[in-house]
Amino acid sequence: MEKTIAIIPGDGIGPEIMAQTLQVLDIVGRRFGHTFRYEEAPMGGNAYERCGEPLPQSSVDTCLGSDSVLLAAIGGPQWDHLPAEKRPEAGLLGLRRALGVFANIRPARLYPELAEACPLKPEIADQGIDFVVVRELIGGAYFGEHKSGLVNGVETASDLMAYSEHEVERIARVAFDLARQRQSRVCSVDKANVLASSRLWRKVVSRVAEDYTDVTLNHMYVDNCAMQIIRAPGQFDVILTENLFGDILSDEASMIVGSIGLIPSLSRGASTLALYEPIHGSAPDIAGQDTANPLAMIRAAAMMLQYSLDMAEEGRAIEQAVSDALRLGLRTADIAGGGPAIGCRAMGEKIRTLLAV
């Protein structure tokens, strides 16, 4: 097969982890007889430096014209002073909206090989951690009206958290469909004791559940959920939640499975075009030092092969190489617990060697 993949290396450690990932894909192509064509789409701070915009229209077009989109990470302190619409994050949010990817799927699974990197007590970790956060991605406070200015002479700012019935319904269906392929349990997370948008959320999710009588639904307040993820993560199968809550809970989830450097994510909408990215950021503090963990990015590519490019076996081969590398004791600094660590390039190289056999 021949596939065109839009590549967004981004900022900070982005280009380093992307370089390792593309080389992994090339090995997969060689082993399984596929050709991957890469088309670079600048986005983020680097795009702002080059063309004054964090998301040039040409990059959106490149993504829309490709079979799939791979994104590393964007952002950095050097762009903090920019107005909101020029910041790297505006590029990312604009891309998510331009591609219409309303569903963000973030798995949190503890590799047995990494049990010692889990910060929870062994008796909690031993119960197993294997759940998925389904985060609404193009609504809520991220995309509501942002206002700042003087109100009665006092500097004031506000962000509108709004959801429509239709927006809740379509993401709820993604979560219920996914639950059917897993343990058939959805935990819908909201703040319905305080927020009107959450009360609508709960009402719509409950109604959608009537179409999925084989799936068990429970509702949980977000503050309680944050606590339960630490107290008893084994209780979760699919966590369904809105944009901002999902942003926060997915970082928490990544921490309990050892490292944010390990978790890939998939974002998709109504079309077949999906966006794959690690859930971590651009880590500007370690950029250019060859210490970043490329595994979340490499696993994002594996996810892309499985879910977008009809290459399930190829994706599993990458996942297998990642498990093997961890079992062999190979660790980047973030998961080494102070022990011996290898760099980003060496980890990428190891994955390729394991794949080439």
- Encoding tokens for residue 34? 């596929």
Q: Which is nearer to ligand IPM, 212 or 245 (CB)?
A: 245
- Encoding tokens for residue 56? 């040039």
> Shortest gap between Cβ of 282 and ligand IPM (angstroms)?
8
Nearest Cα residue to 109 out of 74, 133, 86: 133
Chain center to CA of 131: 14
Helix (H, G, I), strand (E, B), or coil: what is residue 232?
coil
Binding to ligand IPM by CB under 6 A, coded x per residue (else -) over 245-264, reads --x-----------------
CA atoms of 349 and 24, how far apart (whole Å): 8
CA atoms of 80 and 141, how far apart (whole Å): 20
> Shortest gap between Cβ of 326 and Mg ion (angstroms)?
24
213: which DSSP letter?
T
**How much of the chain is helix, strand and coil, in % rounded to 5?**
50, 20, 30
Q: Is 89 in the site for ligand IPM (CB under 6 A)?
A: yes
Q: Is 279 in the site for ligand IPM (CB under 6 A)?
A: yes
CA angle 75, 72, 331 (to 5 degrees): 105
Asked if 86 is an active-site residue, the reply is no
Asked if 251 is an active-site residue, the reply is yes
Q: Which is nearer to ligand IPM, 7 or 249 (CB)?
A: 249
Sign of the dihedral through C-alpha 338, 344, 112, 328 = negative
> Shortest gap between Cβ of 282 and Mg ion (angstroms)?
12
CA atoms of 299 and 225, how far apart (whole Å): 26
Asked if 223 is an active-site residue, the reply is yes
**Binds ligand IPM (CB under 6 A): choice among 56, 75, 233, 269:** 75
At residue 241, what is the residue type?
T
Asked if 121 is an active-site residue, the reply is no
Residues 178-197 that bind ligand IPM (CB under 6 A): none
329: which DSSP letter?
T
Q: Which is nearer to ligand IPM, 200 or 300 (CB)?
A: 300
Q: Which is nearer to Mg ion, 262 or 342 (CB)?
A: 262
Site size toward Mg ion, by CB under 5 A: 1
Chain center to CA of 28: 22
> Shortest gap between Cβ of 88 and ligand IPM (angstroms)?
8
**Catalytic position from the list 191, 212, 237, 334:** 191
Name, in order, each residue with C-beta under 8 angstroms of 344's C-beta and a sequence gap of 6 or more: 13, 16, 17, 20, 290, 291, 292, 293, 294, 332
Asked if 130 is an active-site residue, the reply is no
Which entry of Mg ion, ligand IPM, none binds 278, CB below 5 to 8 A by partner kind?
none
> Shortest gap between Cβ of 30 and ligand IPM (angstroms)?
32
Nearest Cα residue to 205 out of 219, 226, 222, 191: 219
Chain center to CA of 186: 19
For Mg ion, the nearest residue by Cβ is 247
CA–CA distances in Å: residue 73 to residues 88, 117, 144: 10, 23, 23
Q: Is 296 in the site for ligand IPM (CB under 6 A)?
A: no
Residues 202-221 that bind Mg ion (CB under 5 A): none
Residues 39-58 that bind Mg ion (CB under 5 A): none
Q: Which is nearer to ligand IPM, 103 or 317 (CB)?
A: 103
CA atoms of 17 and 290, how far apart (whole Å): 9
Which residue do the tokens 């890469």 mark?
38
**Catalytic position from the list 11, 67, 142, 190:** 142
> Shortest gap between Cβ of 356 and ligand IPM (angstroms)?
32
Residues 228-257 that bind Mg ion (CB under 5 A): 247
Which entry of Mg ion, ligand IPM, none binds 136, CB below 5 to 8 A by partner kind?
none
Enumerate binding residues for Mg ion (CB under 5 A). 247
Active-site residues: which are they? 142, 191, 223, 247, 251
Contacts with ligand IPM by CB under 6 A lie at 75, 89, 92, 247, 279, 281
